[in-house]
Amino acid sequence: MQFLRLDYKKRSDEELMTMILDKNELAFDELYCRYSIKMYSFFYRMLYCDRDKGEDFLQDIFLKLIDKLELFDSERKFSSWFYSIASNMCKNEYKKIKLRNYHSEVHSFSDISVNTNIYEELDLKSFNDELYHFLEDMDEGPKSAFLLRYGNNLSIKEIAEILECPEGTIKSRLFYTMKYLSERLNVYKPGGN
């Protein structure tokens, strides 16, 4: 069994998807391991650090994957396809939030334990809070680009494909986001000193 799992680890996402089409549970397990945390962190950050909502969205996106397996275009890169579904789900959620005129409460990061000294931790916490306040004020498009680039470490080309924008637009969004963020976070000295 362990040997089989190792074999699945060598497979590409697209190969795993082909196997899942044949209802291969081990292939699904491998794909879940690869993408569950990545997707959860994306939803969590996009949806105002709401863990429950993040988990609901994570479940929804994997249910969509199972129910609409046949819709996957094997010519396309799986990660781009999967992230574009995630991005559209967030886009719809933002529309709903806008309609409800809902303002969520930004969750604190006090539950994140980091093995540093108390001053560094306080500084990091302040930085985190300021970052998330900043993200809350951002529009869905630039926020998605920012999180996909720095949170999920995707290339600019891939982000452009996911968000259906030219690469220049993504570069511009990233530049201005980082510029404003930097101006806002300037009080927090680099390195936490």
Partner 1 sequence: MKDDILNIIPDFESLLRNKGFAELSSNEKASVMQFMTIEEYESMRSNTARVIELFSKEEKNLTIDKNLEPDLVNRLRKKKEKSITWILSFCLAFRVPVYQVAILLLAGFLLIPKSNLKIVTQVLSIFRIDTVFIEKSINSLASDKRGNLTSIIHPGEKNRISKPHISKVRPILINQSSPYFANIITHFQSEKNGHAIENDSTLYNRLLTLQLNGN
x-marked contacts with partner 1 along 68-107 as a string, rule CB under 8 A: ----------------------------------------
Q: Which is nearer to partner 1, 97 or 185 (CB)?
A: 185
Distance CA(150)–CA(135), nearest Å, equals 13
Q: Which is nearer to partner 1, 64 or 91 (CB)?
A: 64
Pick the binder of partner 1 from 127, 129, 138, 141 (CB under 8 A): 127
Q: Give the DSSP letter string of 53-86.
A: HHHHHHHHHHHHHHHTGGG--TTS-HHHHHHHHH
Question: By CB under 8 A, which span of 11-19, 76-84, 92-100, 170-178 interacts with partner 1?
Answer: 170-178
Is 156 a binding residue for partner 1 by CB under 8 A? The answer is: yes
Q: What are phi and psi of 27, to 5 degrees?
A: -65, -40
Confirm if 100 and 70 have CB atoms less than 8 A apart: no
Rg of the Cα atoms in the chain: 19
Q: Give the DSSP letter string of 28-61.
A: HHHHHHHHHHHHHHHHHHHTTT-HHHHHHHHHHH
Question: Least distance to partner 1 from the beta carbon of 101, Å?
Answer: 29
Give the binding site for partner 1 (CB under 8 A).
Answer: 20, 23, 25, 28-29, 32, 36-38, 40-41, 44-45, 55, 58-59, 62-63, 66-67, 109, 111-114, 124, 127-128, 131, 149-151, 153, 156, 168, 171-172, 174-175, 178-179, 181-182, 185-186, 188, 190-191
